[in-house]
Amino acid sequence: MPAAAHLPGRALPAIEGPTLPANDLEALLSLTGGQVVQSFGVATRAPEPPLRPVPRADCGPGSRPLQGEIQGRVSRADLDAPEAARGYTCNVSPLGRYPTAGGFRTWRYVDPAGHECAFYDTSLPAPANVVSVAAGPTPGVVVLDMSDPQQPKRTALLTTLAMLAPHESLNLNARRGLLAAVVGNGLTLPGSMAIYDVATDCRRPRLLAEMPTAYGHESGFAPDGNTFWIAGGGGEVIAVDVRDPRVPRTVWRGVLYSHGLNLSDDGRTLFHTDPINGNLGILDVSEVQDRRPDPTVRQLSRITWDTVSVPQNTVPLTIRGRRYLLEFDEFAFRFNPPTVANRAGAARLIDIEDPRAPRVTSNLRLEANMPETRAKLLADPVALPLAFGYAAHYCAAPREVDPVIVACSFINSGLRVFDVRDPENPREVAYYVAPEGGEGLAATTPGNLALSQPAFDPVRREVWYTDATSGFHALRLDERAWPADPPPTRCVSQRTVTITLPRHYASAHVTYLGRRARVTRTRGRLRARIDLRGQPVRTVTVRVTGRSKAGTAVRQTRRFLTCRGRG
């Protein structure tokens, strides 16, 4: 949520104000309707490892690495050197570039006809738009034909109101071929939502519907593509039913501070970040996913951590059969308590195998993000003050199960790639600091302004992202940075499970992995067959809801390993 204006780097005193009083804003917002999901003052501090930077990348042949002594630093000498005109590379090769500067999110999509496209917002080329749409619109959402990644070609520019000012809400559901966004900015301006069909021909998205919304900032699609979740950092979350994308309708409103949103693969657990109070909430949204009348959302847990700044968003991952969240903070300050400090939030892996007791497994941060290092960076030419510039903003993974790598935009430090095969010990394996030049902020902004979520082509080892000074970049990682790996591990046993419910159950609804199991009655007992065949090594949650013979509601959760070995 940066205001993209050039301010000189200067010392930032460690100043902390008092914690603000209990969440009066949430109480006021509740008067307009919506379930209050209290997010203030209830976070527990999660266990976490000692704070340290990841090991530096070992840059192989063909790299043009930075020569500084601090990992992640881009100094005045680096920008003035002749090498800066080609960009700094480590285990990565630039393929193609499109000059229109980017904003916060980049997406890759291949439609059923085989057309390959990129979508990205341009929320930062008009800097004041981040705070106010009245300051002037951005160019819109850029659509690129990526059939030749060395020569990206613009085929469309989406200019509905939501696409002119999406802030961080541009979102894609590849399963259904839907692209959506909501009007938003750093101050969560009310506006409208727009949804497009990209499955017919991704090169020419087709507008399906627009609808008014109350708040906008970020968003999240349920994996089945039937629910579009809208987050407004100012205090409201909205679930929009898009089963018929031509007639979207609101099915739930919740009153809570929320920055980014993401969901589990069955759409029943929502992970949201609270930017105001600096925490992460894990919520049970199964009643929304099931379209229960008057649904209720329940909080499972809420955590914070020592180096929290402004939590941005999360990516659910399964690594070695265990569930994690890749969480990433932005910047190096806090809203509540008001804090100015040299502690960059950076990124981390959080173990959520037990969603009621998450723990921080490891940190993904550079030496430039360490408290003891940041005082040495005060004179560096950064586009934003030090409380913004040397910090993380967006991360992404090429797939949910055993992703091998993740990539993050680290603003002034460019795009950074990490190996996460050992979640306890991630390490940096590649980076790209883009050359200056392009459209938008290029004339007034020194260095990089990399804030966008990356996208991936795993087959070609490509990473796509945008920089607000130099545009869209298509990169290819070396094999040493993204090693060839087998498909996600498959089960040896091809396991199926039959669960038998207690005798007092009169009816039951059984769901797992986003699907509904068939329930049968045998000898007076309800039974459901859970098919885990072909699933990667993981733990699968089975949820049972129903009614007892006495007419009361019944509910239970069971968990099963898909298999006990690796194929």
Nearest CA to 314 among 441, 415, 220? 220
Residues 465 and 474: their CA atoms lie apart, in Å, by 7
* Chain position carrying tokens 């394996």: 429
Instruction: Give the least confident one: 40-54, 221-235, 309-323, 439-453.
Output: 439-453
Please state whether 306 falls in left (phi above 0), alpha (psi between -120 and 50) or beta: alpha
8-state DSSP, 486: P
Rg (CA), the chain: 23
**Alpha carbon separation from 179 to 201, 232, 302 (Å, rounded):** 12, 19, 30
Q: What is the pLDDT of residue 11?
A: 39
* Chain position carrying tokens 């980049």: 106
pLDDT band at 292 (very low <50, low <70, confident <90, very high): very high
Q: What is the pLDDT of residue 23?
A: 42
Instruction: Give the least confident one: 24-28, 260-264, 362-366, 455-459.
Output: 24-28
Element (H, E) at 161: helix 161-164
| Average pLDDT value for residue range 29-46 | 63
Q: What is the pLDDT of residue 305?
A: 96
pLDDT tens for 204-222 read: 999 999 999 876 889 999 9
pLDDT tens for 140-165 read: 999 999 999 999 999 999 999 899 88
pLDDT higher than 80, residue 563? no
Chain centroid to Cα 194, Å, comes to 20
Cis peptide leading into 337, omega within 30 of 0?
A: yes
| Average pLDDT value for residue range 258-265 | 93
| Average pLDDT value for residue range 229-243 | 87
Please state whether 461 falls in left (phi above 0), alpha (psi between -120 and 50) or beta: left
pLDDT higher than 50, residue 25? no
Q: What is the pLDDT of residue 191?
A: 75
- Between 44 and 24, the higher pLDDT residue: 44
pLDDT tens for 544-556 read: 999 999 999 888 8
pLDDT tens for 520-552 read: 998 889 999 988 877 777 778 888 999 999 999
Its pTM stands at: 0.83
pLDDT band at 441 (very low <50, low <70, confident <90, very high): low
Q: What is the pLDDT of residue 557?
A: 85
What backbone phi and psi angles, to 5 degrees, belong to 162?
Answer: -65, -35
Residues 361 and 335: their CA atoms lie apart, in Å, by 25
Q: What is the DSSP string of 299-350?
A: EEEEEE-TT--EEEEEEEEEETTEEEEEEEEESSEETTTTEE-S----EEEE
Q: What is the pLDDT of residue 513?
A: 81
| Average pLDDT value for residue range 292-313 | 94
Q: Mean pLDDT in the chain?
A: 86
Q: What is the pLDDT of residue 438?
A: 60
What backbone phi and psi angles, to 5 degrees, belong to 12?
Answer: -115, 105
pLDDT band at 408 (very low <50, low <70, confident <90, very high): very high
Q: What is the pLDDT of residue 442?
A: 46
- Residue-wise burial string across 137-157, b where 16 or more C-beta atoms lie within 10 A, e elsewhere: ebbbbbbbbbeebeebeebbe
Which tokens belong to 163? 């696409």
- Between 432 and 19, the higher pLDDT residue: 432
Q: Is 92 exposed, middle or buried (0-12, 13-18, 19+ CB in 10 A)?
A: buried
Q: Is 504 exposed, middle or buried (0-12, 13-18, 19+ CB in 10 A)?
A: exposed
Which residue ranges form the domains of the chain, and what is each CATH number?
Answer: 25-477 (2.130.10.10), 496-561 (no CATH)
